[in-house]
Structure 1
Amino acid sequence: MLKFNSRTFKVASLIFVSFLLKSFHLKAQTITPVKEVKRVSIRGLSVIDNKTAWVSGTGGNVGITHDGGLTWTWRQVKGFEKSDFRDIEAFSDKEAIIMSSGTPAVILKTADGGLNWQLKYQQTDKAYFLDAMDFADTKHGFIMGDPIDNKFLLLETKNGGETWAPAADAPVALKDEAAFAASGTCLRVNGIITIVTGGSVSRMLSSPVNKLNWIATPLPLTNGEPSRGAFSVAYGKKQTIVVGGNYAKDKQTDSVVYILPQKHAAQQGNIPQAGPSGYQSCVEYLGGGTFLSTGTPGSNLTTDGGLTWHKIDSTTYNVCRKAKKGSLILLAGDGTIGIYKP
């Protein structure tokens, strides 16, 4: 028979209370859907501050909010009504850059809040398929695309997107390796450039921004098919988290998340004890040990650096992003936009 003294009782009580508090905290996380969203598939999302954010998607559509996501103004980019704008990078309520996946591959820029767009890059060769875009600062940015001649396409700008040219050294791609234009976050730039891949293999490709020298790190995420692999990467203070899975079988929960300690990303890694509820197309760092991920089976949250994940919403979203300057967190999907409340 177990005997409980006062010390044992106190320890058990503290554990129980801690469990209740954690459960209450996780249940308090909510994602509120925005009403009257334009019925387009949205994969591009850029949140500037607590008021301003941009989205981009199919049918040449771009949306902007000035009230934290509650209402949106939509415009169809003239001359590009059939384009699928898979990613967007916004710098203010006036200035933004969009890129399209598919043919033709185009990059456009606006300086007047989306009223007018200027074509900055175009490629009609069907081999060009753009996947994601990110910037180190307002001037220096990169766009990556699927491999051409055994190398990933990597375009670079050093003048805020006015002109684009092939980067000096793009990473080598393995046979049938590719990247996913699912949320614009298979590419991240933050002192280093990081690309995560899928298809025949799952890898992380990383290099310093100003002197391209690529290091390849194998990822134990599901791979071997065109629909499987790593889809998104996010930098935290203590760890880097990669999410993915199999979008064709999105309820499968095996090999969806991989955790890499920030300082030794090439040498160490972990699979979570309890992962997200299936395929995840995007992951975003929120602060501390907290990351938010989302995908077609729903959205998931971790507060312990990726070791355990809890499903907080069942709505399908493609992308989730936090404000560059502020606390606003938005999600977007196929005719859906959500506001995350911690």
Structure 2
Amino acid sequence: MQKVKIISALLLFLSFAAKSQSVIPLQSGKLTSIRGLSVVDDHIAWLSGSKGTVAFTLDGGKSWSWQQIKGYEKSDFRDIEAFSDKEAIIMSSGSPAYILKTTDGGITWAKKFEQADTTYFLDAMDFKDPAHGFVLGDPINGKFLLLKTDNGGETWSPAQNSPDAYKNEAAFAASGTCIRTTKSNIVIVSGGAKSRLISSNDGGNNWHYTELPLTDGTSSRGAFSVALDDKPKVVVGGNYAKDKLKDSVVLVLNKTNKLSFPSIGPDGFQSSVEHIRLNVYLSTGTPGTNISTDGGNTWKKIDDKSYNVCRKAKNGKLVLLAGDRGSVGLFKF
């Protein structure tokens, strides 16, 4: 009898835990596709998207202040890095490529980088601290474009040694999470002709290359996002042109960088993955949002709605998602 009670209590707990993992819609209906998301803390977060659109919240996503930046109405701001309610940096893909910065909560935006050369296509941005950051772009002449700043985004210059690239290999400007940085590491994932994990543990002076056994070979396939918990790492991707395909979507790298596929993977293509805490990872994409509570080995779908990106607060527990038509969601765990 006691054993039955214990099993019943365990099943009840697991049922409650499953129900508690959900995505709560907060906003939708804006005619913009959001791919840039930066969550500062449990109150402050910023969004960036198509048609020159930027938004921020001061109350954890309950309400948002939206704007279309004058003069940049045709820009697609694929990534954003925010440091406070006043300071944020946005990056546009396409031509011209721009990097803009605000220090007054979006009242004014100063142009810090501009490149009209059509070979420049910026994909993602990440900062290891408020002063030092990188912008990753598609390869030019066999090298990934890598811009760096050492003064908080005031000026940008090409990195002295950027990673090598195969022909038709590229990064994906899908969620701003194909490049991640820590105090000493830079990690990049790629797709297209090759799916690779490209890393540096000395600030970009030397690069290490690991081929990923994700399906690649076409422009819509490969690795789209990487999540760091120091080690292990979780890489997600797939085929965004056939987003219901469930094969070749997730890879887990253990402490010795051994690659493995999960025993149960996410429900289709995933464009973004985020480490939440301990062994918990959240991923999202156009077919829906999935969670793993065992370090990436098994995944469970928790929401059907399409999102492009998921991010956790740099300082806090708030986790938000964002996607097309101005959609914003709150992850409840």
Structures share fold, TM-score greater than 0.5: yes
Residue 288 in 1 paired to residue 281 in 2?
Answer: no
SS at match of 1:264: coil
Report the structure number with the largest CA radius of gyration: 1
Residue 339 in 1 paired to residue 330 in 2?
Answer: yes
Q: Which amino acid aligns with 2:218?
A: E
Aligned mates of 2:212, 2:204 — CA distance in 1: 24
Q: Which amino acid aligns with 1:257?
A: V
Aligned mates of 1:149, 1:235 — CA distance in 2: 29
2:191 is matched with which residue: 198, 214, 223? 198
Shift of 1:14: 5.6
2:209 is matched with which residue: 211, 216, 222? 216
CA contact (8 A) 1:237 1:288 kept: no
Aligned mates of 1:282, 1:313 — CA distance in 2: 14
Aligned mates of 1:40, 1:321 — CA distance in 2: 19
1:309 is matched with which residue: 291, 299, 306? 299
Shift of 1:208: 2.0
1:160 is matched with which residue: 152, 155, 166? 152
Aligned mates of 1:165, 1:136 — CA distance in 2: 17
In the superposition, the TM-score normalised over structure 1's length comes to 0.93
Q: Which amino acid aligns with 2:139?
A: P
Aligned mates of 2:230, 2:277 — CA distance in 1: 8
Q: Which amino acid aligns with 1:58?
A: S
Q: How does 1:125-144 map to 2 (within 5 A)?
A: 125-144=117-136
1:248 is matched with which residue: 232, 235, 241? 241
Shift of 1:62: 0.2
Aligned mates of 1:194, 1:13 — CA distance in 2: 47
For residues 216 and 278 of structure 1, do their structure 2 counterparts lie closer, same or farther at Cα, with a shift above 3 Å needed?
same
Q: Which amino acid aligns with 1:39?
A: L
Q: Which amino acid aligns with 2:78?
A: R
Residue 318 in 1 paired to residue 324 in 2?
Answer: no
Shift of 1:173: 0.2
Alignment-derived partner of residue 178 in structure 2: 186
Q: String of CA shifts for 1:147-191, please: whole Å, max 9, x gaps.
A: 000000000000000000000100000121111000000000013
CA contact (8 A) 1:189 1:209 kept: no
Aligned mates of 1:106, 1:35 — CA distance in 2: 27
2:229 is matched with which residue: 231, 236, 246? 236
Aligned mates of 2:216, 2:198 — CA distance in 1: 16
Q: String of CA shifts for 1:224-255, please: whole Å, max 9, x gaps.
A: 11000000000125510000000000000001
Aligned mates of 2:144, 2:5 — CA distance in 1: 55
Q: Which amino acid aligns with 2:291?
A: L
1:271 is matched with which residue: 243, 261, 264? 261
2:108 is matched with which residue: 110, 116, 133? 116
Shift of 1:209: 4.6
SS at match of 2:298: coil
Shift of 1:210: 2.8
Alignment-derived partner of residue 13 in structure 2: 21
- Structure 1 residue runs of 5 or longer lacking an equivalent are 1-5
Alignment-derived partner of residue 47 in structure 2: 55
SS at match of 2:153: coil
Aligned mates of 1:164, 1:254 — CA distance in 2: 39
Q: String of CA shifts for 1:181-204, please: whole Å, max 9, x gaps.
A: 000000000131000000011000
Aligned mates of 1:211, 1:130 — CA distance in 2: 18
CA contact (8 A) 1:44 1:57 kept: yes
- Structure 2 residue runs of 5 or longer lacking an equivalent are none
Aligned residues: 331
Q: Which amino acid aligns with 1:339?
A: L
2:162 is matched with which residue: 170, 188, 202? 170
Alignment-derived partner of residue 43 in structure 1: 35
For residues 13 and 243 of structure 1, do their structure 2 counterparts lie closer, same or farther at Cα, with a shift above 3 Å needed?
farther
Shift of 1:105: 0.5
CA contact (8 A) 1:134 1:189 kept: yes
Aligned mates of 1:164, 1:74 — CA distance in 2: 27
Q: Which amino acid aligns with 1:174?
A: Y
Q: CA RMSD in A?
A: 1.6
CA contact (8 A) 1:277 1:297 kept: yes
In the superposition, the TM-score normalised over structure 2's length comes to 0.96
Alignment-derived partner of residue 257 in structure 1: 250
Q: Which amino acid aligns with 1:57?
A: G
